[in-house]
């Protein structure tokens, strides 16, 4: 799905690392669908039993502590050098924008076919760049706090229609970013099994609730927004500084138990229906890498309220994101027959009513201190068409119209053995396309 009409003037942080003709000496990086030289996302891999900060390049990865120790990254600030030796990316996220950009430039130079390291002895290159299969992905950061927003206006309208037919979109929605504080202890990296939660279900309006496994397990297609933080309690982050306080982006599946949610959500909102698991992709695609793929915020109609001044600022026009998002489903029966996963939805992050920077500015506006490694979920991202919906709740019209699969099976909600995959890609004419990797989870009852 293209949102070329939302293209904005070239972002101020565009530089040589975004050049479409830049090539790496790492063969697998050439036209890689996710991780060409222009991307360089960071993650954490368990290598030989220990977590290490890495950068993805094609089907390989740069071992950042090894690159530092081999002096392959040039001169680094003491804070940057120390961050590369940590077992998570929190210290890297806490670096200044200038330090994070300088590290990107250093890794780009290390991997560029035109750089000096390309002519280093092969043994030295193998010590620094190794196959990604040598490691096991871990969570990118220690997540201190997790906030899930509700910034996808089409999802908010669709879901509201099921729960509140008389008022699908509440009056505050277009004025204020809506969110709730979630549970960070049950966020896991892509590939973690999905255990069906138990909870109270109200099966009929006139009978008492029962305590049973959820019968309406669902997915929610979201963006992961990784925070660099830095403000003290009582000091809001203004819009003109909000984008700099975001370290990068990934994919997030906020698994949901719709039957538990329907019974418990009044009057305080999501609770057990949402805190049994959220899955994130392992790679943090940096704000620098996203510079070519900025977009205008979602267009407001003439009668829509404009954001209050604290949610605008001079950078407001260019802080949306153009990320094509896709959801696929495969069942045990499909895999046993060699059938490819079925695409359920294609949508775009440009359908977010609020930009990530607005979410951050609002979150801190009351004085909340944000810390490096905090995680935001964007909220479910749905488009306008029936094939662009970000949850089964919407795809099945509230559980009334089953999705038919190539195996002949039907789904209203997820069943045991179902595997849900989320991918994200960024494309714009004149730039190398990049991806956000994959976010996968399989249901185990």
CATH number of the domain encompassing residue 55? 2.30.30.230
Each residue's pLDDT tens digit, 279-313: 999 999 999 999 999 998 998 999 999 999 999 98
- Cβ count within 10 A of residue 304: 12
CA–CA dist 286, 326 (Å, integer): 20
Q: Which domain holds residue 84?
A: 4-138
- 201 and 70 in one domain? no
The CATH number of whichever domain residue 389 belongs to comes to 3.90.850.10
- 360 and 224 in one domain? yes
- Exposure of 51 by Cβ count < 10 A (0-12 exposed, 13-18 middle, 19+ buried)? middle
Q: What is the DSSP letter of 369?
A: P
316's CB contacts (< 8 A; 6+ apart) are 239, 297, 307, 355
CA atoms within 13 A on the CB side of 227: 30
Which pair of structure tokens corresponds to residue 198?
């138990």
CA atoms within 13 A on the CB side of 198: 3
- 153 and 85 in one domain? no
Task: Please count the residues of the chain.
Answer: 445
CA–CA dist 154, 378 (Å, integer): 13
pLDDT of 2 reads 43
Catalytic residues: 155
pLDDT of 385 reads 96
- Cβ count within 10 A of residue 305: 9
Q: Is the CB of residue 63 less than 8 Å from the CB of residue 56?
A: no
- 156 and 75 in one domain? no
- 261 and 393 in one domain? yes
DSSP run (H or E) holding 323? none
Q: Is the CB of residue 378 less than 8 Å from the CB of residue 150?
A: no
Per cent of the chain over pLDDT 70 is 97
Q: What is the DSSP letter of 152?
A: B
Each residue's pLDDT tens digit, 139-152: 999 999 999 999 99
- 276 and 155 in one domain? yes
Q: Cα 266–268–270 angle (5° rounding)?
A: 85
Residue whose C-alpha is closest to residue 413's, from 213, 230, 223, 268: 213
Last residue of a domain, one of 117, 138, 159: 138
- 402 and 307 in one domain? yes
Last residue of a domain, one of 106, 138, 170: 138
Q: What is the DSSP letter of 113?
A: T
Q: Is the CB of residue 370 less than 8 Å from the CB of residue 237?
A: yes
Last residue of a domain, one of 79, 106, 138: 138
Positions of the chain with pLDDT lower than 50, given as ranges: 1-5, 9
CA–CA dist 200, 359 (Å, integer): 32
Q: What is the DSSP letter of 368?
A: P
How many distinct structural domains can be found in the chain?
2
- 192 and 122 in one domain? no
- Cβ count within 10 A of residue 48: 7
Which pair of structure tokens corresponds to residue 179?
């969110």
- Cβ count within 10 A of residue 249: 29
Residue whose C-alpha is closest to residue 102's, from 114, 92, 89: 92
Phi and psi dihedrals of 136, rounded to 5? -115, 125
- Exposure of 10 by Cβ count < 10 A (0-12 exposed, 13-18 middle, 19+ buried)? middle
- 438 and 397 in one domain? yes
Which pair of structure tokens corresponds to residue 186?
């049950």
- 167 and 82 in one domain? no
Q: Is the CB of residue 279 less than 8 Å from the CB of residue 253?
A: yes
- 223 and 274 in one domain? yes
Residue with tokens 């509440």: 170
CA–CA dist 255, 276 (Å, integer): 8
82 in helix, strand or coil? helix
DSSP run (H or E) holding 256? strand 256-257
User: Helix count (H) and strand count (E) of the chain?
Assistant: 11, 26
291 in helix, strand or coil? helix
- 174 and 204 in one domain? yes
């Amino acid at each position: 799905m293209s949102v070329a009409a939302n293209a904005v003037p070239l972002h101020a942080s565009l530089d040589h690392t975004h050049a479409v003709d830049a090539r790496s000496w790492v063969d697998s990086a050439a036209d890689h669908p996710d991780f060409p030289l222009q991307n360089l996302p960071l993650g954490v891999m368990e290598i030989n039993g220990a977590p290490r900060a890495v950068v993805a390049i094609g089907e390989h990865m740069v071992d950042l502590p090894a690159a530092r120790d081999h002096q392959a990254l040039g001169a680094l600030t003491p804070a940057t050098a120390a961050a590369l030796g940590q077992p998570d990316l929190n210290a890297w996220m806490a670096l200044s924008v200038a330090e994070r950009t300088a590290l990107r430039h250093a890794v780009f130079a290390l991997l560029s076919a035109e750089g000096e390291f390309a002519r280093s002895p092969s043994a030295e290159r193998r010590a620094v760049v190794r196959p990604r299969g040598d490691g096991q992905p871990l969570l990118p950061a220690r997540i201190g706090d997790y906030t899930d927003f509700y910034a996808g206006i089409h999802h908010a309208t669709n879901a509201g229609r099921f729960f509140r037919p008389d008022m699908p979109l509440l009056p505050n929605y277009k004025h204020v970013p809506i969110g709730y504080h979630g549970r960070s202890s049950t966020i896991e990296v892509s590939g973690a099994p999905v255990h069906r939660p138990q909870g109270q279900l109200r099966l009929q309006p006139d009978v008492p609730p029962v305590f049973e496994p959820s019968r309406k397990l669902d997915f929610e297609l979201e963006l992961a927004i990784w925070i660099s933080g830095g403000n003290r309690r009582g000091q809001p982050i203004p819009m003109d500084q909000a984008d700099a306080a975001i370290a990068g982006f990934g994919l997030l599946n906020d698994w949901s138990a719709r039957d538990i949610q329907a019974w418990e959500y009044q009057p305080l909102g999501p609770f057990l229906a949402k805190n049994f698991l959220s899955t994130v992709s392992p790679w943090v695609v940096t704000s620098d890498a996203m510079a070519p793929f900025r977009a205008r915020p979602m267009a407001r109609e003439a009668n829509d309220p404009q954001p209050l001044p604290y949610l605008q600022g001079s950078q407001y026009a260019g802080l949306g994101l153009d990320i094509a998002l896709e959801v696929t489903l495969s069942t045990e029966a499909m895999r046993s027959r060699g059938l490819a996963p079925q695409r359920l939805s294609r949508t775009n992050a440009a359908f977010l009513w609020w930009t990530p920077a607005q979410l951050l500015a609002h979150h801190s506006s009351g004085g909340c201190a944000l810390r490096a490694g905090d995680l935001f979920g964007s909220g479910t991202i749905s488009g306008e068409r029936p094939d662009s919906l970000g949850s089964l709740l919407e795809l099945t019209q509230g559980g009334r119209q089953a999705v038919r699969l190539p195996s002949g099976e039907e789904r209203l909600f997820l069943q045991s053995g179902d595997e849900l995959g989320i991918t994200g890609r960024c494309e714009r004419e004149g730039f190398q396309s990049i991806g956000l990797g994959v976010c996968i989870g399989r249901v185990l009852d």
